[in-house]
Chains A and B, each alone.
Chain A
Amino acid sequence: MKIKVLKDVLKANDTIAEENRTILRKKGILTLNLMSSPGAGKTLILEKTVERLKKDFKIGVIEGDVSTSNDARRLARYDIQVIQINTDSIGGACHLDANMVKEALGSLNLSSIQILFIENIGNLICPAGFDLGEDKKIIVLSLTEGEDKPVKYPVAFRKADLLLVNKLDLLNHLDIDLQLLLKNSRKVNPDLKSIQLSARTGEGIDKWAQWIKKNLDLKKRRSRAQGS
């Protein structure tokens, strides 16, 4: 006997992601999902961002790593809410999924968070396939990774809302063609905006902080409009 199912296997994730999105919308929290390959500088970018924004905004961070709580410790120094998800207890998963984020949301005091960063597992492939309930997907690409990454890993770049090009301080020490990198990123995602920065020197962090503030304002305005 043949039984017709027609069920999307990833649907379970999308359903939970929508629940997360609803919770976060009710609280008016801007949620940003940071994706990159390992070592692109997500954590240092977050440290510099928190340094810049923490005096004006209440910030939370969900840190995803296969193992260790090194990154959470780095961010906890800034006296903000940080929660570490380690996926080695769940088979070393190569990405965060909506359910892991849902559990993490349960352990955060959401009433005192305005901006929530989710630092995904360092991986340019799998995280792109899993909606977490975020407002925006941010892709971080560092100059040392080469200008062809957007066309080699197009899925992640296609789904991103913003590209942060990191390690700008190395530009003159590398053979990288920054314009080609940006052109490649627009080839897979013509609407992809980019901000160039160096988390190490702090160059460009202001522009990124402005982008976050603008999106937080937009979100607040939108949720007020929906609420009335």
Chain B
Amino acid sequence: MHELSLAQGIIQVIEEELEKRKEKGTVQKINLRIGQLSCVEPEALLFSFGFCSKETQCENAVLNIEKVPLACECQNCGKNFLPKEAVFVCPDCKSCRIKILSGEEFYIDSFEIE
């Protein structure tokens, strides 16, 4: 259930940005980039955000979630690939020595105000 604290984190970051810019407008949309491996469940996040955002400048904001696929690089042969299973194995040389290039992030990309 840690989507609740993540929803609070999103609101906190946006409020800090608004404060910095002395913006009084209401937030319409928040664009998020969520990695496939970040263990964040979008449904649970939307649900938590719904009640965390009440009476904040984010109250009417829509969460626009862009999922970032998992990308890996084999540390043995250097091949870049998108793993299909939770256990990462290089499709070429079958090595398990794998570096994750993307897919672990949980970013606020931008937000839109009116």
Q: Check B1–A8 contact: CB distance below 8 A.
A: no
Chain A residue numbers with a CB within 8 Å of B86 are 151-152, 154
Which A residues, 137 to 151, have Cβ-Cβ distances below 8 Å to chain B?
151
Chain A residue numbers with a CB within 8 Å of B10 are 9
Interface of chain A, main secondary structure? mixed
Interface of chain B, main secondary structure? mixed
Q: Check B1–A4 contact: CB distance below 8 A.
A: no
Q: How many residues on chain B are close to A (CB under 8 Å)?
A: 33
**How distant is the Cα of A78 from the Cα of B38 in the complex, in angstroms?**
38
Q: Check B39–A155 contact: CB distance below 8 A.
A: yes
B21 an interface residue at 8 Å Cβ cutoff? yes
Q: Check A7–B108 contact: CB distance below 8 A.
A: yes
Q: Decide yes or no: A91 and B1 within 8 Å by CB, A12-B9, A151-B86, A154-B87 being known contacts.
A: yes
Q: Check A3–B87 contact: CB distance below 8 A.
A: no
Which B residues, 11 to 55, have Cβ-Cβ distances below 8 Å to chain A?
12-14, 17, 21, 23, 25, 37-39
Minimum-distance CB pairs A-B, first 10 = A9-B9, A5-B108, A4-B110, A154-B86, A190-B96, A151-B87, A2-B112, A9-B106, A7-B108, A7-B13
Given contact pairs A91-B5, A151-B86, a sample of 13 additional A-B residue pairs in the complex whose CB atoms are under 8 Å apart: A1-B114, A5-B17, A5-B108, A7-B13, A9-B108, A12-B9, A129-B2, A129-B39, A152-B86, A155-B37, A155-B39, A187-B96, A190-B97
